[in-house]
Amino acid sequence: MTRIPSLLLLCALTAGAYAATPATPAAPETPAPAAKAAKAATGASMTESDKTMFAIGEILSGSVKPFALNDHEMQLVRDGFDAGMHGKKTAVDAESYRPQIQALLTERMGKETATAKLAGKAYRDKAATAKDTTTSASGIIMTTLKAGSGPNATADDQVKVNYEGRLIDGTVFDSSAQHGQAATFRVSGVVPCWSESLQHMNAGTKARLVCPPEQAYGDRGSPPKIPGGSTLVFDVELLAIEKAPAAPAQPAESAQPAQPAAPATQASPH
């Protein structure tokens, strides 16, 4: 079950939805809500302080988005936010509704995940028919875009890559370009889709990876950018392979057990 800390849930549930919809104009000369929203969305004529406030709403909205609120529900959320901000007494005991809020979140995220899985399966079936494509036993679809040379990477190697990660609708959720540099990480330290695929690549290889949710973020996803159950597409260029640096030696009396590989909820190095 997906859980959200109580304070964050109520804060995000109200503040995020409130920030997503412009307030009613206070005077005739104030721009219409649609115009205000468009202006805010582009950051036009916003001060740094305004941008900070806008960013708060946008970030918090990520926790609200899984509820998939309709217009009527959004209005109720705004009313609740207004009541809370002004300390109004209402007929609703918000604290007692935490279980219902969690149940609603679980229900709606479950529907979203099921929809994402169906769409992802159809996408993968088509992708598997592309030229120079192989499908592994784990369901990872790998298309070679450019062949490299030399030995393949191993699980213990450290690699340097350029990459771009997308949802199946083409939305880019992460890339090395966004970070301004290639990513360097241990092959065994990322999600299964990457770890497995990189071991079939050598320096200079460019490949497209289509990762089923079980080999990436799973049913939980990575809100707000990646819904649960998402099939992910990565374009990966393996720039270099090198031996990962050895872990520093520890005194025998203070030695700790080896740490497990990075959890499967890390779909990319960042």
Number of folded domains that form the chain: 2
Distances (CA, A) of 40 to 12, 19, 129: 19, 11, 43
* In a domain? residue 108: no
> Are 232 and 137 members of one domain?
yes
> Are 135 and 68 members of one domain?
no
> Are 147 and 67 members of one domain?
no
> Are 87 and 129 members of one domain?
no
> Are 77 and 174 members of one domain?
no
* In a domain? residue 103: no
Q: pLDDT tens track of the chain, all 270 residues?
A: 344 333 334 344 333 333 333 333 333 344 445 445 545 555 668 899 999 998 888 887 777 777 888 899 989 988 988 898 899 999 999 899 999 988 887 787 788 889 999 999 999 999 999 999 999 999 999 999 999 999 999 999 999 999 999 999 999 999 999 999 999 999 999 999 999 999 999 999 999 999 999 999 999 888 778 989 999 999 999 999 988 776 665 555 444 333 333 333 344 444
> Are 126 and 241 members of one domain?
yes
Task: Note down the domain range covering 75.
Answer: 6-92
> Are 144 and 191 members of one domain?
yes
**CATH number for the domain including 207?**
3.10.50.40
* In a domain? residue 256: no
> Are 155 and 57 members of one domain?
no
> Are 46 and 158 members of one domain?
no
* In a domain? residue 253: no
Q: At what angle are helices 6-20 and 98-127 packed, to 10 degrees?
A: 70
* In a domain? residue 152: yes
Give the β-pairing of 183-186 and 133-135.
Answer: unpaired
